[in-house]
């Protein structure tokens, strides 16, 4: 592991500090590209205007017409946390804007039976609901057949999505498309999650209804009540936290800390053993998000959506408990798959000096619901773009991939599809995460895909990119090694593209032992002071003197709090 220090523009850090930002925070923000205090202003007035999002005004007119006419609006959800929160935002938001509850419905694909997106089979699910208007959330930008099928049945279609459209192909023939990634959209925040896109469509619809005289600025519905859901979906989908996304998340966290949350969100905090009044982005990404995602991976995301839609606290608690149980099952399935993947990796790497530039894994026993998680674990271990495949319930071979910086996974799939015609039935995704479905015999298809992906990786990646480098914020001064610093850090919004602070210091290892058979508990001497530290999922001992990259955290036990270094890496 190579530990490198982030560049800190001194003038910027000084300017931020002069504007009243805490000296340590000024240094951390400057290292992440923040250039003025305006960028960290989380006021709602600083959010980008809805009309900047191409298609939002047209979508607003379409939705306003449907609301005025009392037409049946059916939301087509997705089976991950972003899709579930986007569905809940759409359903709750449209009701706030005047759509009768009886005129609103939703459908969500089953991962195993329907696959991803607005397929003709998913459209057929909306037929019994007498849908006049379909509104996709977090999907639809590549759903040509589904959109055409819906239009043939007389339904209007509004696509709201954030995924990349297929390169070189026309967009689906929907009535309106709102997607920051579509050609011609110049919105400054291209990183909006699906839930963020839907929230912006609601803002535009509110403005349209206000212009029609439905209400005025004083009496208009308060859509900020949905920001807890927007924050949850944005963080859980691991989209880049640009300035606008950070504001959305910060506004949502502010409401959570004030106790202003949907009953389902409160219930998820409860089963996760977290407290909403101390909510952080970490809680959303690693405690609440996985519990919602588990439903889509192993069961039916209807469970998660109903948890977010109910206003009954008791029902929300019951649904959250079911989600928690499914998440425990997901962890067991994932653990078994990870062990299988580790054995396959050990066999693959035996006798090799280095790992291949990319790889694909398949086992007949893999579960399609957790292939993405396992791909991420393998990617983290090897620092290589990784795909993991499983045979789906429909019989198709489905894969999910995770990538490293410098390797755009969806673009790589596009090149593989061009070079190997007929191998990929479908594909899509982002730079860092993507999915595909393969045709043919499983072993042969995965082998062909693996070879093609390695070829692309060999062309695109150099040794510098393949080297595992971790950027840190350098040493943490002893004066800042306190509870106040932890609180200062936790009050900020960190995540993808705006990584949480990671400090790096030389230490002396005084004691080390394993706890829970898999975690390394450490007693260190740091800057002349004794420190407690832990390195999760690390069993190999450390040398007496080493350089560690760590986060500063509070360890709570039996009502007592103490500072702890949570180790992420050691210098190689």
- Residue 210's pLDDT is 97
- Residue 567's pLDDT is 97
- Residue 240: pLDDT band (50, 70, 90) is very high
Token pair 């609601």: residue: 202
pLDDT in tens, 166-198: 877 899 999 999 999 999 999 999 999 999 999
pLDDT in tens, 249-282: 999 999 999 999 999 999 999 999 999 999 999 9
Q: What is the mean pLDDT of residues 318-332?
A: 97
Is the confidence at residue 557, as pLDDT, over 80? no
Distance between CA 374 and CA 83 in Å, rounded? 21
Cα–Cα–Cα angle for 116, 121, 122, nearest 5°? 60
- Residue 83's pLDDT is 97
- Residue 353's pLDDT is 85
Burial 270-291 (b: 16+ CB within 10 A, else e): bbbebebeebbbbbbbebbbbb
Which residues have C-beta within 8 Å of that of residue 431, sequence separation ≥ 6? 403, 408, 409, 410, 411
Q: What is the mean pLDDT of residues 437-454?
A: 94
Mean pLDDT (the chain) is 94
- Residue 560's pLDDT is 78
Q: What is the mean pLDDT of residues 328-356?
A: 91
The string of DSSP codes covering 514-557 is: EETTTEEEEEEEETTEEEEEEETT--SPPPSEEEEEEEEEEEEE
- Identify the structural domains of the chain with CATH numbers, from first to last: 44-325 (3.90.1640.30), 352-466 (3.10.310.30), 470-570 (2.40.50.460)
Is the confidence at residue 458, as pLDDT, over 90? yes
Is the confidence at residue 293, as pLDDT, over 80? yes
What does each C-alpha distance from 236 to 329, 378, 536 come to in angstroms?
19, 20, 21
Is the confidence at residue 554, as pLDDT, over 80? yes
Please name which of 539, 541, 549 lies closest in space to residue 516, comparing C-alpha atoms: 539
- Residue 194's pLDDT is 97
Distance between CA 282 and CA 284 in Å, rounded? 5
Higher pLDDT, 441 or 55: 55
- Residue 506's pLDDT is 96
Q: Quote the percentage of the chain above a pLDDT of 70.
A: 100
- Residue 331: pLDDT band (50, 70, 90) is very high
Q: Are 212 and 204 in contact (CB under 8 A)?
A: no
Distance between CA 55 and CA 415 in Å, rounded? 29
Residue 471 host element (H or E): strand 469-472
pLDDT in tens, 352-407: 888 999 999 999 999 999 999 999 999 999 999 999 999 987 788 999 999 999 99
Lowest mean pLDDT among 94-103, 108-117, 254-263, 503-512: 108-117
Distance between CA 32 and CA 36 in Å, rounded? 12
- Residue 24: pLDDT band (50, 70, 90) is very high
- Residue 246's pLDDT is 97
- Residue 254's pLDDT is 97
- Residue 542: pLDDT band (50, 70, 90) is very high
- Residue 113's pLDDT is 78
Distance between CA 129 and CA 207 in Å, rounded? 28
Please name which of 31, 26, 9, 5 lies closest in space to residue 547, comparing C-alpha atoms: 5
Lowest mean pLDDT among 28-32, 78-82, 266-270, 351-355: 351-355
Higher pLDDT, 396 or 55: 55
- Residue 82: pLDDT band (50, 70, 90) is very high
What does each C-alpha distance from 225 to 93, 246, 253, 353 come to in angstroms?
9, 17, 12, 55
Q: What is the mean pLDDT of residues 450-456?
A: 97
Is the confidence at residue 224, as pLDDT, over 90? yes
Q: What is the mean pLDDT of residues 300-311?
A: 97
- Residue 532's pLDDT is 96
- Residue 503's pLDDT is 97
Please name which of 64, 305, 49 lies closest in space to residue 176, comparing C-alpha atoms: 64
- Residue 111's pLDDT is 77
Distance between CA 533 and CA 555 in Å, rounded? 10
Query: Residues, the chain, total?
Result: 572
Please name which of 30, 24, 139, 129 lies closest in space to residue 72, comparing C-alpha atoms: 129
Burial 188-227 (b: 16+ CB within 10 A, else e): ebebbbbbbbbbbbbbbbbbbbbeeebeeeeeebebeebb
Distance between CA 222 and CA 203 in Å, rounded? 10
Please provide residue 533's backbone torsions phi and psi, each rounded to the nearest 5 degrees: -145, 160
- Residue 558's pLDDT is 74
Q: What is the mean pLDDT of residues 113-121?
A: 86
Q: What is the mean pLDDT of residues 336-356?
A: 90
Q: Are 193 and 158 in contact (CB under 8 A)?
A: no
Here the tokens at position 344 are: 């396959």
Distance between CA 377 and CA 384 in Å, rounded? 11
Q: What is the mean pLDDT of residues 277-290?
A: 95
């Amino acid at each position: 592991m190579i530990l490198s220090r982030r560049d800190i523009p001194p003038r910027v850090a000084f300017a931020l500090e002069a504007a009243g930002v805490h000296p340590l925070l000024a240094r951390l923000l400057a290292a992440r590209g923040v250039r003025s205090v305006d960028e960290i202003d989380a006021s709602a007035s600083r959010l980008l205007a809805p009309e900047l999002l191409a298609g939002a005004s047209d979508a607003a007119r379409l939705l306003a017409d449907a609301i005025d006419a009392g037409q049946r609006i059916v939301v087509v959800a997705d089976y991950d946390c972003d899709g579930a929160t986007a569905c809940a935002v759409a359903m709750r938001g449209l009701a706030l804007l005047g759509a009768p509850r009886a005129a609103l419905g939703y459908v969500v694909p089953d991962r195993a039976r329907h696959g991803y997106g607005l397929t003709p089979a998913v459209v057929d699910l909306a037929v019994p609901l007498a849908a006049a208007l379909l509104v996709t959330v977090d999907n639809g930008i590549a759903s040509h057949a589904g959109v055409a099928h819906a239009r043939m049945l007389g339904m209007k279609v509004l696509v709201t999505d954030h995924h990349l459209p297929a390169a070189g192909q026309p967009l689906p023939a929907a009535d309106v498309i709102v997607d920051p990634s579509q050609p011609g959209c110049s919105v400054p925040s291209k990183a909006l999650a699906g839930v963020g896109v839907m929230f912006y469509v609601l803002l535009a619809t509110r403005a349209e209804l206000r212009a029609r005289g439905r209400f005025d600025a004083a009496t208009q519905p308060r859509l900020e009540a949905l920001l807890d859901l927007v924050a949850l979906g944005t963080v859980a989908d691991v989209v880049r936290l640009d300035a606008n996304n950070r504001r959305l998340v910060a506004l949502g966290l502010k409401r959570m800390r004030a106790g202003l949350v949907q009953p389902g969100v409160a219930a998820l905090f409860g089963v996760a053993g977290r407290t909403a009044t101390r909510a952080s982005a970490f809680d959303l990404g690693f405690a609440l998000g996985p519990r919602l995602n588990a439903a889509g991976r192993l069961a039916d995301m209807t469970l998660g959506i109903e948890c977010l839609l109910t206003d009954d606290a008791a029902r929300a608690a019951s649904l959250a408990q079911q989600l928690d149980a499914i998440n425990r099952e997901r962890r067991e399935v994932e653990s078994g798959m990870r062990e299988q993947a580790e054995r396959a990796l050990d066999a693959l790497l035996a006798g090799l000096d280095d790992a291949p530039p990319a790889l694909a894994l398949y086992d007949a026993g893999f579960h399609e619901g957790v292939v993405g998680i396992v791909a991420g674990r393998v990617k983290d271990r090897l620092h290589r773009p990784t795909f993991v495949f499983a045979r789906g319930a429909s019989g198709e071979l489905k894969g999910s991939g995770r990538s490293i910086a410098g390797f755009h996974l969806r673009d790589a799939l596009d090149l593989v599809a061009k070079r190997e015609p007929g191998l990929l039935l479908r594909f899509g995704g982002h730079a860092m995460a993507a999915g595909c479905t393969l045709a043919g015999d499983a072993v042969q298809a995965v082998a062909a895909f693996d070879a093609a992906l390695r070829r692309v990786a060999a062309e695109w990646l150099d040794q510098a990119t393949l080297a595992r480098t971790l950027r840190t914020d350098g040493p943490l001064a002893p004066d800042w090694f306190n509870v106040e610093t932890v609180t200062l850090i936790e009050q900020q919004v960190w995540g993808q593209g705006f990584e949480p602070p990671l400090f790096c210091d030389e230490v002396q290892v005084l004691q080390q032992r394993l706890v829970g058979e898999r975690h390394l508990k450490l007693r260190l001497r740091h800057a002349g002071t004794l420190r407690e530290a832990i390195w999760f999922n690390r069993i190999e001992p450390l040398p007496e003197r080493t350089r560690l990259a760590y986060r500063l955290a509070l360890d709570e036990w039996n009502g007592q709090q103490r500072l702890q270094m949570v180790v992420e890496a050691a210098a190689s």
